[in-house]
Amino acid sequence: MCGIFGMIGQNAVKTTLDSLRYLEYRGYDSAGIAVKRKEGLEWTKCMGRISELQKKAQGMAESDIAIGHTRWATHGRVCEQNAHPFVSEDGAFAIVHNGILENYLELKKELPNVHFSSQTDSETVAHMLSAVYRGDVLEAVLAVAKKLQGSFAIAIMSVYDNKLYAVKNKSPLVVGVSRNGTYLCSDVGCASRQAEQVALAEDNTVAVLSDKGVRFFDFDGQERRAKFFVAEQSAELQTEEGDVMLKEIFEIPQKIRASRQGYLQSGGLRLSDEEARRLKRIYLVGCGTAYNSGSQVACVARNFLDIDILPVIASEFIYDNYPVGEDTLAFLISQSGETADTLRAAEKIRHSGGITYAVTNNACGSLGFLCDYVSNVCAGAEFAVASTKAYNCQLVTLTLLLADIAVSRKTLSVQVRKDILCGLEEVAVASEQLLTDVYPLVRLAEELKKCSAVFYIGRLSDYPTACEGSLKLKEISYIHSEAYPAGELKHGTLALMEEGVAVIALATDEAMAGKIAYSVTEVVSRGARVISVGHAFPEAENIPLPKVHPYLADIISVIPLQLLAYYTAKSLSRDVDKPRNLAKSVTVE
């Protein structure tokens, strides 16, 4: 799971290195670049971030053809040998790969005399190309493409011509053209920084890039057409000092407003009243933070919708037997719009006749293209690996979508829907308020960093918020953390309560505060310390919350948790923007 970039055009080395920085959200444990020269191929690679590669490639002369890679290890540990590009033994082919080759062990057996220099699946492709080459590069690429199984976007260069070849199945591949060059890349945002027009390659496609343009073929060599479009210019990477995650948290109030506005301007819910009335069930499908937002909004929507609303983890949905038919609507939630599990779930739902509706922060991403309808959550580009503002915006968009379905089904009055819309401005103001005095959270973080474990508890819609708070903390501080519905604590987890453990109790719903109070007493009497968010309990330190519409309370209750995770990680000197073992977008199943 990685990012790939390739181009034909002036200053290819500089542009490739710069583009790889943009793709670092897809993986950042090692990186490499290969260029074509008259004398042959030249490449360099190293462990660590793109900044390391930039240092290492400083002496590299410019070229008009380059391919580059940023890695998130799947096959083989993180080391220089396993970093891409891989070059065939004869030095004729260099490749970079995003995805997983499921049959690479069998393919390796077809190359008994080859010395493999890495433990990766990807290296096989470079050697296969050289083994099948008989004077025509495209023929060799097609012959190899037909043998590959799994998910792949592979960029190939060779000494034999001045072209780049890209082979694609399941992993994203964007191809771009401009007056200055031709490009291939793992995402639209990155490609559109260079290209005037971009196209998304279909599965089982070989793209051939030359300085004249791009041609597409299926694996049998039949020419294919692709639809080019002008993509929205993406935001540039932050260059000023400071952590991106903190900056993104502080953008939340402004993005809540943008999300509400974006929803209204785009025309809101795309389903007709008739379609909404026919629905029998709604799934909210996503991974990580995106799953938590679906899970959170499902709890709220059960208050006003009269059908089954079920949050499901995308990687489970793919293999489980959830019923899907024409009466099924699935919201596929994904910040990046590129998460492999979510894409596979969307494909499955489409196949079974359900309606697919992408809720994404990247309407031009693969998910947006795959689904019947798209809503952009309008959080603006998010770069920190731990998602923050996109979560708040997913809650805004999903709440509005589900409220509009309920209005169509006449289970929610137009007036309450209006209250929700107006309430969102109060939510933006409340979030500004929460961000004005962060000192108490900085102080609490100093305590949390000493804890052996931190548990997050809540009931009803506070429980998904607890899950999100816990995910944030473990992702970036590496402190062990779990979330539970508060009532479940007594069924096992209470055994872990002792001194040195902290419990964060979410209590935004006054009606449930009495129930949370039991859990607070239970854990305090076993030596754990408690911090409550919302309602104040005598035994716990409290983070108060401004009052907002009850259906919208979770959009703000998560903010102190996002900040707590950030400040705790910071005081432990963690790399908050790029935590270990993670990537912002997980493009393998």
Q: How far is CA 507 from the centre of its chain?
A: 29
DSSP state letter for 230 = P
DSSP state letter for 32 = E
The smaller minimum CB distance to ligand G6P, of residues 86 and 391, is found at 391
Q: Are 44 and 81 in contact (CB under 8 A)?
A: no
The smaller minimum CB distance to ligand G6P, of residues 219 and 456, is found at 456
Output the smallest distance, CB 202 to ligand G6P, in A. 21
Instruction: Establish if 334 lies at the interface with ligand G6P (CB under 6 A).
Output: yes
Q: Considering only residues 16, 289, 295, 376, which one is a binding residue for ligand G6P as defined by CB under 6 A? A: 289
Instruction: Establish if 339 lies at the interface with ligand G6P (CB under 6 A).
Output: yes
Residue 578 neighbours by CB under 8 Å, 6+ apart: 24, 28, 49, 385
Instruction: Establish if 465 lies at the interface with ligand G6P (CB under 6 A).
Output: no
Q: What is the largest CA-CA distance in the chain?
A: 80
By CB under 6 A, what part of segment 152-171 binds ligand G6P? none
Options 169-177, 214-222, 371-379, 580-588: segment touching ligand G6P (CB under 6 A)? 580-588
Instruction: Establish if 288 lies at the interface with ligand G6P (CB under 6 A).
Output: yes
The smaller minimum CB distance to ligand G6P, of residues 67 and 173, is found at 173
Active-site residue, from 163, 170, 449, 584: 584
Instruction: Establish if 585 lies at the interface with ligand G6P (CB under 6 A).
Output: yes
Output the smallest distance, CB 523 to ligand G6P, in A. 28
Options 97-105, 141-149, 379-387, 406-414: segment touching ligand G6P (CB under 6 A)? 379-387
The smaller minimum CB distance to ligand G6P, of residues 78 and 496, is found at 78
Site string for ligand G6P, 290-329 (x = CB under 6 A): x---------------------------------------
Output the smallest distance, CB 585 to ligand G6P, in A. 5
The smaller minimum CB distance to ligand G6P, of residues 26 and 257, is found at 26
Residue 265 neighbours by CB under 8 Å, 6+ apart: none
Instruction: Establish if 574 lies at the interface with ligand G6P (CB under 6 A).
Output: no
Active-site residue, from 2, 185, 190, 378: 2
Which own/partner contact pairs does 436-444 have at CB distance under 8 Å and 24+ positions apart?
Answer: 438/563, 438/567, 440/543, 441/543, 441/560, 441/563, 441/564, 441/567, 442/567, 444/531, 444/541, 444/543, 444/564, 444/567
Residue 224 neighbours by CB under 8 Å, 6+ apart: 202, 205, 216, 217, 218
The smaller minimum CB distance to ligand G6P, of residues 333 and 556, is found at 333
Instruction: Establish if 387 lies at the interface with ligand G6P (CB under 6 A).
Output: yes
The smaller minimum CB distance to ligand G6P, of residues 44 and 587, is found at 587
Instruction: Establish if 342 lies at the interface with ligand G6P (CB under 6 A).
Output: yes
Options 44-52, 258-266, 380-388, 460-468: segment touching ligand G6P (CB under 6 A)? 380-388
Strand order in the sheet with 541-543: 480-485, 453-458, 501-507, 529-534, 541-543
Report which secondary-structure segment, H or E, holds 565.
helix 553-571
> How many other CB atoms are there within 10 angstroms of residue 40's CB atom?
11
Options 17-25, 95-103, 443-451, 579-587: segment touching ligand G6P (CB under 6 A)? 579-587
Site string for ligand G6P, 2-31 (x = CB under 6 A): ------------------------------
Output the smallest distance, CB 249 to ligand G6P, in A. 14
Cα separation, 359 vs 390, whole angstroms? 11
Output the smallest distance, CB 371 to ligand G6P, in A. 13
Output the smallest distance, CB 28 to ligand G6P, in A. 12
Instruction: Establish if 582 lies at the interface with ligand G6P (CB under 6 A).
Output: yes
Instruction: Establish if 392 lies at the interface with ligand G6P (CB under 6 A).
Output: no
Cα separation, 123 vs 129, whole angstroms? 10
The smaller minimum CB distance to ligand G6P, of residues 152 and 291, is found at 291
Output the smallest distance, CB 529 to ligand G6P, in A. 28
Q: Are 516 and 507 in contact (CB under 8 A)?
A: yes
Instruction: Establish if 234 lies at the interface with ligand G6P (CB under 6 A).
Output: no
- Closest C-alpha among 249, 547, 544 to residue 426: 547
C-beta nearest to ligand G6P: residue: 288
Is 79 noted as a catalytic residue in this protein? no
Scanning the structure block, which residue is given the tokens 């940023």? Answer: 70
Instruction: Establish if 385 lies at the interface with ligand G6P (CB under 6 A).
Output: yes
> How many other CB atoms are there within 10 angstroms of residue 103's CB atom?
13
Q: Are 357 and 346 in contact (CB under 8 A)?
A: no
Options 222-230, 285-293, 448-456, 526-534: segment touching ligand G6P (CB under 6 A)? 285-293
What Cα–Cα distance (Å) separates residue 186 from each residue in 5, 242, 305, 406? 7, 27, 39, 38
Is 584 noted as a catalytic residue in this protein? yes
Scanning the structure block, which residue is given the tokens 């919302």? Answer: 534
Cα separation, 133 vs 126, whole angstroms? 11
Which phi-psi region, left, alpha or beta, contains residue 161 (left: φ > 0; alpha: ψ -120 to 50)? Answer: beta
User: DSSP 3-state assignment of 378?
Assistant: coil
The smaller minimum CB distance to ligand G6P, of residues 45 and 584, is found at 584
What Cα–Cα distance (Å) separates residue 206 from each residue in 100, 137, 150, 184, 347? 17, 12, 15, 12, 22
Question: How many of the chain's residues bind ligand G6P (CB under 6 A)?
Answer: 16
Q: β-strands 174-178, 164-169: how paired? A: unpaired
Output the smallest distance, CB 114 to ligand G6P, in A. 35
Output the smallest distance, CB 85 to ligand G6P, in A. 25
CA-based end-to-end distance of the chain:
9
Output the smallest distance, CB 472 to ligand G6P, in A. 9
Cα separation, 68 vs 34, whole angstroms? 6
Footprint of ligand G6P (CB under 6 A)? 287-290, 334-336, 339, 342, 385-387, 582, 584-586
Residues annotated as catalytic are 2, 584
